[in-house]
Chains A and B, each alone.
Chain A
Amino acid sequence: MQGRFHDGLSARPSTVEVAWIDDGLRFAAEGGQARFWPQVGLKVVREGDQARLSHPSDPDARLVLTEADWLALGGSAAVAVEKRGRVREFRLVAGLAAAGLSVTAFVFWGVPVFAGPLARATPIQMEKDMGRSFDAQMGAMFRRCEGEAGQGVLDELGTRLSMQSDTPFDVRVRAVQAPFVNAFALPGGSVLVTDDLIREAETPDELAAVVAHEVAHIEKRHVMQAVWRSLGVGLLLDAVVGGGTGAGQQAVLLAGQATDLRYGREAELEADERGQALLTAAGMSSQGMAPFFARMHGEGEDKRLATAAEFVSTHPDSARRAQRARAYEKAGAPALTPSEWAAVRASCGAGSKDAVTRLKDRLRRRGDKTPVDQGDQVRQD
């Protein structure tokens, strides 16, 4: 039967007479050399009414037959030719799946394990430099509160707590304006406390507990650990998925972030414990931590409360933390005098809301469960 032959040298087709002889295709173009393509290595692509054949002995050449001719000509060999290649495909997928699994394992276990030693091995000066850069970025996002007296008190509180810790960094605490309840430690010793958190804290001890918690993060170099961890996880996963925008690629990157959260929680618990120890060592009461977490947990249940939900998302499981904190808490001197506390409370001014609105907000949130805010009473002293 006849076929159309492309010799792979030019695009001029020639008509050839094709036969299946000795387990292979034999054909010759008019006036041309006879060719033999053995069944081994023969490849076929069927599309529409055509079958296009090729053979590695003649890599650029193609032989085109009608589909019916090919099936008639090749017979059972035609079926065998098409089945090949599936084994190779299976091996490929198995190999790639194994590679994917190894990457997953490394992301979930390897990177977090390496992050600790890597953080401890990071030169102090390097972390300080990095901290300066972070600080500048944060400073651009969250404006420093203007009440310098309160800022001084806050910074002094940080210094007193850091004196009890074993850290080479100068701990510098400052209040900033941000629309959520949170405090965070940056690489190199900076601690930022948001105005909303200062407002949420009902006693100086609660605020001191939060600051002690952040100082503990700095001492344990958790921040640097998190930097290495997210860098490691991010880089590795980015490398695998190629920073692509497909849904599958996004899913992989999201899963990577979940690891970060998991290890973040462990660091939180460690910082709680160490923070309480620092408070005790500094002679302060560590009884402020439990009530603060407990209240955050209670408010977290109310989905309408963005501020509390925000805190819970980065500091999860407040109830459990409150319980633990209560178990380890010790009495001590108040962290701040009433006038110091008042200065801190005043450091961010009225912030985004006036005092009356804030009071209304709180009453609305709590119903009748708790008496009117102590903090505001202290401030009015």
Chain B
Amino acid sequence: MTDATLDGGPINDGLGPLHGVYPQDSEAGEVLRFQSTLQPKRFLGLSLRNGLLNIVTLTLYRFWGKTEVRRRVWQGVRLNGDAFEYTGRGKELFIGFLLALAALGLPMLLTVFAIQFGGPAMIAVLYPVLYFGLFWLWGFGLFTAFRYMASRTTWRGVRFRLGGSARSYGFRYLGALFLSGLTMGWFWPVAQRGLAEKLWDELRFGDRRIRFRMGRAEKVSVYGWYALGWVGTLVGYLVFVIGMVALFAALGMMDAPEGQAPGLGFTLGIYGMMLVLAPLFLLIWSPFHAAMLRSISAGVTLDGAGFHLDVKAMPLWWLTVSNMAALLLSLGFLTPWVQARTAHFMVSRLTSAGLAHLDLARQAGRGPGSGEGLADAFGFSAI
């Protein structure tokens, strides 16, 4: 170990030099070592239990179930020998949900009434507001969900904290979607990195700031893989249409009288086709998704430490496809198992180089009192 690395930098991990943010820190930092003690098969019992309790309680148990899954996933991830801890509670998610219901449900209800009872003028005014408002709210909800999760994550007893503004993230999200639509998707990789920057750059461990460095993130190229996915999708779509026509012809549906119900063979054909095509579409997109994961993790830095997520396209594809199959076949029951193996997959591929001064982190405030209502309302939850 050289003197240069002892004071927190610079490191050179192939992405360029990285200097410590706190040059005054004279103490030697630590190299960050991640370890997963997660055993996905130990989540099978929890999967069954959560699923059954969800049925019995008309899904009201889901907030507590989700909390339990997070608690167990977090405690299965270790950094330098100490496990992370999730300190959130089911009640907090439930209250967040009730708040979102009031904040989102009531205006939605009023809008629905206004549209039903009001004239076309009302619809013309309300639709765009509702349309753009929802996208903004989606971004807002995502950010507040991350803020809640960060505040309920501790390591060595010290909380994480997400600063920044959920409102401005909402606008950024809206803009990202709008520009991506305008450019037929080609803006999306830039947008995705930009959104990641907004999140990671505001994250703190205690009072210790985590930084997102776009220059490092951009060193991992993603556009080639994006082009592969984009063109592949176009070709795949054409193949799908041709396949459908062939299916119609094979089943003699071309000259079928209008209004006749599609037969069983036809329905099975459609689903079969989708089942075959979904993994194929995932396959052509997985190099991009893997590259984006590598790019974003390369952008995250803490003091003099940089990160590397060694995710390759094929393993990521297999993870996604097998997760989807498990969820489909178990009717969603296996969600906790899927989340545990995904977390294990990521953590066991995460490495770090350079030194971080974790010891110097001091406790952060308690964060929001309730969590994730909006994100829950939109059905968003990474875990």
Interface residues of A (CB under 8 A from B): 4, 6-13, 45, 47-48, 50, 52, 60-62, 64, 92-93, 96-97, 99-101, 103-104, 126, 129-130, 132-134, 136, 179-180, 196, 235, 238-249, 251-252, 303-307, 309, 352-353, 357, 361
- Per-residue contact bits, chain B 176-219, to A (CB 8 Å; 1 contact, 0 not): 00000000000000000000000000000110000000000000
Q: A52-B75, A93-B61 are in contact. List 14 more A-B contacts (CB 8 A).
A: A6-B82, A6-B158, A10-B158, A10-B362, A11-B359, A11-B360, A92-B90, A130-B116, A130-B117, A133-B117, A196-B259, A242-B59, A252-B58, A361-B257
Neighbour of A306 across the interface among B85, B260, B359, CB < 8 A: B260
Please judge, given known A-B contacts A133-B116, A196-B259, A252-B58, whether A239 and B85 are in contact too, CB under 8 Å: no
Q: Are A248 and B259 in contact (CB under 8 A)?
A: no
Q: Are A240 and B379 in contact (CB under 8 A)?
A: no
Q: Which residues of B contact A307 (CB under 8 A)?
A: 259-260
Chain B contacts with A in 338-383, Cβ cutoff 8 A: 358-363, 376-377, 379
B60 to chain A: closest residue by CB: A96
Q: Are B58 and A100 in contact (CB under 8 A)?
A: yes
Interface residues of B (CB under 8 A from A): 37, 51, 53-62, 64, 75-76, 78, 82-83, 85, 90, 97, 101, 105, 109, 115-120, 154-159, 205-206, 257-261, 263, 331-333, 335, 358-363, 376-377, 379
Q: How far is the CB of A265 from chain B (nearest CB, A)?
A: 22
Q: Which residues of B contact A13 (CB under 8 A)?
A: 82, 156
Q: Which residues of A contact B51 (CB under 8 A)?
A: 248
Q: How far is the CA of A359 from the CA of B239 in the complex (A)?
A: 38
Q: Are B56 and A97 in contact (CB under 8 A)?
A: yes
Q: Which residues of A contact B335 (CB under 8 A)?
A: 246
Q: Which residues of B contact A251 (CB under 8 A)?
A: 55
Neighbour of A8 across the interface among B57, B109, B116, B363, CB < 8 A: B363
B112 to chain A: closest residue by CB: A231
Q: Are B59 and A249 in contact (CB under 8 A)?
A: yes
Q: Which residues of A contact B120 (CB under 8 A)?
A: 136
Q: How far is the CA of A370 from the CA of B100 in the complex (A)?
A: 61
Please judge, given known A-B contacts A64-B82, A130-B116, A130-B117, whether A11 and B56 are in contact too, CB under 8 Å: no
Q: How far is the CA of A244 from the CA of B101 in the complex (A)?
A: 12
Q: Which residues of A contact B76 (CB under 8 A)?
A: 47-48
Q: Which residues of A contact B331 (CB under 8 A)?
A: 247
Q: Are A100 and B60 in contact (CB under 8 A)?
A: yes
Q: Are B376 and A6 in contact (CB under 8 A)?
A: no
Q: Which residues of A contact B37 (CB under 8 A)?
A: 47-48
Neighbour of B155 across the interface among A11, A45, A100, A134, CB < 8 A: A11
Q: How far is the CA of A357 from the CA of B260 in the complex (A)?
A: 13
Q: How far is the CA of A9 from the CA of B59 in the complex (A)?
A: 38
